């Protein structure tokens, strides 16, 4: 990571690197950061990774909390360019989500179409929550996703 000096123009990538370093140095969790700025942990992490744009007040709160340099808030407020690798990831945790979509994607699509009609679940007007569920056989990961239904337009 480059050294940041006054009047540097920061990119979203610069801001992400600064956030990760500041989070680690402060010993904070994503849940803790999200609670301090008044957002969900899922959205906060996604925005910190550059995949969403922070509203100005939330960017300012995050920068104050993590003592980020001037210019970081402006970078965090910019609209993202959502580009990610199109290859299947090798990280085991992320790969499992690809596996879930590969196995259950057609089922999810069929059930959505039966219940709502021909359309999609929005990933823009979207909420997600990750919860730990105690279980005697081994704790469970619960992922709840809720997206606005968007019907396909015929034109």
**Residues noted as catalytic:** 96, 99, 122
For residues 20 and 14, give the distance between their C-alpha atoms in angstroms, rounded to a whole number.
Answer: 10
C-alpha gyration radius of the chain: 19
Q: Which helix (H) or strand (E) holds 121?
A: strand 119-133
Q: What is the spatial distance between Cα 108 and Cα 143, in angstroms, rounded to a whole number?
A: 15
Q: Which two tokens stand for residue 127?
A: 């909420």
Per the DSSP assignment, residues forming a β-bridge with 149 are 121
Beta bridge partners of 140: 133
């Amino acid at each position: 990571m480059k050294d940041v000096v006054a009047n540097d123009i920061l990119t979203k990538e610069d801001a992400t690197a600064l956030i990760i370093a500041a989070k680690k140095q402060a010993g904070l969790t994503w849940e803790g950061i999200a609670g301090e700025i008044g957002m969900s942990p899922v959205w906060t992490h996604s925005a910190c990774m550059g995949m969403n744009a922070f509203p100005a007040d939330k960017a300012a709160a995050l920068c104050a909390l993590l003592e980020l340099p001037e210019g970081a808030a402006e970078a965090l407020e910019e609209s993202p360019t959502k580009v990610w690798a199109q290859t299947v990831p090798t990280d085991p945790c992320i790969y499992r989500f690809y596996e879930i979509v590969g196995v259950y994607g057609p089922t999810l699509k069929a059930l959505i179409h039966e219940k709502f009609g021909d359309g999609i679940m929005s990933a823009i007007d979207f909420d997600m929550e990750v919860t730990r569920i105690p279980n005697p056989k081994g704790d469970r990961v619960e992922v709840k996703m809720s997206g606005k239904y968007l019907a396909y337009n015929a034109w």
